[in-house]
Structure 1
Amino acid sequence: MRACPALFISAPASHQGKTTVTAALARHHARLGRRVCVFKTGPDFLDPMILERASGSPVYSLHLWMVGVEACRALLAEAARDADLILIEGVMGLFDGTPSSADLAATFGVPVLAVIGAHGMAQTFGALAFGLARYRPDVPFHGVLANRVASARHAQMLSEAIPEGLRYCGHLSNADAIALPDRHLGLTQAAEIADLDARLERAADAIGETALRDLPPAVQFEEEAPARPPRLLEGVHIAVARDAAFSFIYPANVDLLQAMGARISTFSPLADEPVPDHSDALYLPGGYPELHAATLANNARTAASIGVHVESGRAVVAECGGMLYLLDSLTTVDGTRHAMLGVLPGDAAMQPRLARLAMQRIDTSHGIATGHTFHYSTMTTPMQPHLAATHATTGAPGEALYRHGRVAATYMHTYWPSNPAATAALFRGEPL
């Protein structure tokens, strides 16, 4: 067993300020010289970008189903060996989902800080805090923090509403100066927020005025050695598209490729950079191609290099936005049609509303791989699915995995450590 101070930041719902508070805590303790390790519950690419900037370290996913209990235990054990503080940001509300943030907190004994957006409420704040703290006795509870508080009088009313026996940790104001901007898939990417560090500094200053300024109690984490994957990609050179249009990448996925022996190079389609020379495989991750469709359509150098890569029979793995880039066209919400690469037959169109959001699994000849889907686009294509994913809990039909030559493409964002053998097959261009 190894002890490390740890706190699980959750809320009664989404949009309460979990990421702002987690980032504020990370920056506050990091600037005191502490080594802060931050995790995000479940599938997410945007919040971890903010949290990485706040803490100075990569942010990994924890999820009892997608990542797995033993893998979560190993990640926490590794963090406890090196960190002075572990922070885990939850997803949605504390008890939402199967498994939920509460399930994760209870499994590893990490006490929960409930962040409650207090705008538009007073004494009801106490009832909400009481319900979160007492709904499940097996979930350890640290305290409650009020967010978006309008005034000193408002803060006083909130603190007075807390029932005896619950810890009130203080409040943050409703100042726009610390709020994090968002767009249709969630928070704006860290690299696109010009004053992000200034916002993080102000948020850390605010946290420093609360009871959360000090380290939380230590939690005992079981020692667990991480699994060593087989070297199935020894000597394989993988080119990874990485920029503001293609940025939805789990750090654990890249770690896996390297642990299996792959060499990674990155390039930017937005900067019209070519696929790196002598690449054996190409990875086009998800992101925001729709926000940069005109630029991507005009960047002929990147397009030509991807064409050469495909025509030479080398493997391509494309997820969500990366798949859209390979299609004939992408139509943005304003109705503008942009020509894409034409590697895959089909057309995509952005929608004003969410098209699909779900945890998914896909059954391959190498076993089950886990992941999720989250997109605002729809796609029409004559391609027939090579495999089809299913919903994690209901078994309902999920996203298709298409194969076109040695190109594998899908809307599903796969958590590759859930199945290293299937991942290696993808990057070797083999059927699953």
Structure 2
Amino acid sequence: MPNTHPRLVIAGTHSGAGKTSVVTAALAALRARGVPLRPFKVGPDYIDPAFHAHVTGTPSRNLDSWLLDAPVLRGLFARAANGGLSLIEGVMGLFDGKGSGHEGSTAHVAEILDAPVVLVISAQGLSRSAAAMVAGYASFHPRVRVGGVIVNRVKSARQYGLIRDSVEKACAVPCLGYLPENPDFALQSRHLGLVPSQEVAELDAVVAHLALAAGETIDLDGLMALADGAPPLPAGELPRVEGSFPVRIGVARDSAFSFYYQDNFDLLQTLGAELVFFSPMRDRSLPDALHGLYLGGGFPEVFAQALAANGPMRSAIREAVSGGLPVYAECGGMAYLCVSLADAAGTVFPMAGVFPHRAVMTGKLQRFGYAEAEFCRETVLGPAGTRVRTHEFHYSRIEPEDGTEGCYRMRKDGVTPWRGGLASGNVLAAYPHIHFYSNPSLPRNFLARCGAFKAGRP
């Protein structure tokens, strides 16, 4: 009987080992063969999934074992993975998770899904030492199975042969090929990770180079055999979410705002919402007949000039908010709702002006990592006391901070609790990113508020 959920995790020894290049190459080469693909990304990342989607034409979904309970994670995976070969790109190094623990790591997701792992190692400065590295990763956790190795940034076929022979002799783990060192394969980075796919010049040419290399130097048949050999997927369970809300939600989506979980969109649509995408950079007005707005994160600081130049859109959002339109904004979306945004050079650009605060880019990371949020007051997502697991990652800060009583009480291990978030009327804006399946009552509450607005109730 064929495997209904062929799957494998492609993990790295560390950040920068080349996971995204290898995954992009493998996806492109397998798609060229006509293999139906289902891409996934471990952790709270929005940029890598966009590369997956660009290559495969299929949405890539996040699998986060700290934000999501294991049965829910398995349920979401099973629903999206059915009918294709699933390639799951890891995050950071294989065993790096929340703090020094297992939770949230690529290894934890591999364990939850009972998926074999292909370990990506960098060949830079290595030959036989690669065997010691692989041996350590392969034996570190008894329920995480390293089933293969791909070597990245290889200088020559001879170097790969030395590494392959050393690894296979010492570890009994097969090497499944390599990618050569080639500047044409490089994916550029900036302050929040890789430069997003929609900004990469000649991305299709880069993908074509990677696909060609993968077809020549990666054992694609071996990858598929390893994925097909995964055991039956453990049972999952999705939470029962009741309610039907036939409302139209405007979703800001362009180069400035692209940080969304695909599962969030899916859940909103399951609850009856129609999602209407628009561009705060290019569109001169909001879509017609909206009952709510969803403004995700992204890079408004990079595109601040274009956002500021679109005065009609900024005015339309202010007017919609003053008319009571429910709004939920995360991170970069919150910056856009401030009165101004100062970029890294100190240039100040006018924004939508819903809040009298200023968003200011700084030269260092302000907050990074997982944290739990508790609502200090009623918001469009729920009543006071509501709790949800979240993730933050930002270089900006909101000013003034003094005298601003945040609507979230944030808690993180080893860190003094803090307050964050802005709320006024039907608007909630905050730095933390929320996966709606962490607490499905939140999107339901938001859509209920949008339904009340549609019905003319405050």
Aligned Cα RMSD in Å?
Answer: 2.0
Is 2:228 the partner of 1:216?
no
What is the Cα deviation at residue 396 of structure 1?
Answer: 4.6
Paired residue secondary structure (1:66): coil
| Partner residue in 2 for 1:349 | 360
State the distance in 2 between where 1:79 and 1:426 align: 25
Residue 417 of structure 2: which of 393, 397, 400 is its match?
397
Moved more, 342-351 or 158-167: 158-167
What is the Cα deviation at residue 211 of structure 1?
Answer: 4.8
Paired residue secondary structure (1:290): coil
Equivalence map 1:208-247=2 (5 Å): 208-214=215-221, 215-217=224-226, 218=228, 219=230, 220-224=232-236, 226-231=238-243, 234-247=245-258
Moved more, 377-386 or 166-175: 377-386
1:369 touches 1:416 (CA, 8 Å); kept in 2? no
State the distance in 2 between where 1:398 and 1:6 align: 40
Residue 259 of structure 1: which of 270, 278, 282 is its match?
270
State the distance in 2 between where 1:117 and 1:403 align: 46
Paired residue secondary structure (1:279): coil
Q: Over residues 128-174 of structure 1, what are the superposed CA-to-partner deviations in whole Å (9 max), with x where a residue is unaligned?
A: 11111111222111111110112233223322331241212221111
State the distance in 2 between where 1:42 and 1:398 align: 23
2:25 touches 2:210 (CA, 8 Å); kept in 1? yes
Residue 421 of structure 1: which of 441, 453, 456 is its match?
441
With over 3 angstroms needed to count, the CA separation of the structure-2 counterparts of 1:82 and 1:244, relative to structure 1, is same
| Partner residue in 1 for 2:165 | 160
2:138 touches 2:146 (CA, 8 Å); kept in 1? yes
State the distance in 2 between where 1:164 and 1:256 align: 44
Is 2:392 the partner of 1:373?
yes
State the distance in 1 between where 2:210 and 2:322 align: 50
**Partner letter of residue 145 of structure 1?**
I
| Partner residue in 2 for 1:293 | 304
What is the Cα deviation at residue 339 of structure 1?
Answer: 1.8
Q: Normalized against structure 2, the TM-score is what? A: 0.88
**Partner letter of residue 133 of structure 1?**
A
| Partner residue in 2 for 1:102 | 107
What is the Cα deviation at residue 228 of structure 1?
Answer: 4.2
Q: Normalized against structure 1, the TM-score is what? A: 0.93
| Partner residue in 2 for 1:411 | 431
Moved more, 215-224 or 111-120: 215-224
Residue 279 of structure 2: which of 265, 268, 279 is its match?
268
Q: Over residues 66-108 of structure 1, what are the superposed CA-to-partner deviations in whole Å (9 max), with x where a residue is unaligned?
A: 122112111232244311x111111111111131111111222
**Partner letter of residue 49 of structure 2?**
P
- Gap regions ≥5 residues in structure 1: none
2:5 touches 2:78 (CA, 8 Å); kept in 1? no
State the distance in 2 between where 1:278 and 1:164 align: 62
2:73 touches 2:236 (CA, 8 Å); kept in 1? no
Residue 198 of structure 2: which of 156, 167, 191 is its match?
191
1:388 touches 1:398 (CA, 8 Å); kept in 2? yes
Is 2:92 the partner of 1:124?
no
**Partner letter of residue 364 of structure 2?**
R
| Partner residue in 1 for 2:90 | 90
What is the Cα deviation at residue 224 of structure 1?
Answer: 3.9
Residue 180 of structure 1: which of 171, 184, 187 is its match?
187
Paired residue secondary structure (1:137): coil
Paired residue secondary structure (1:417): helix
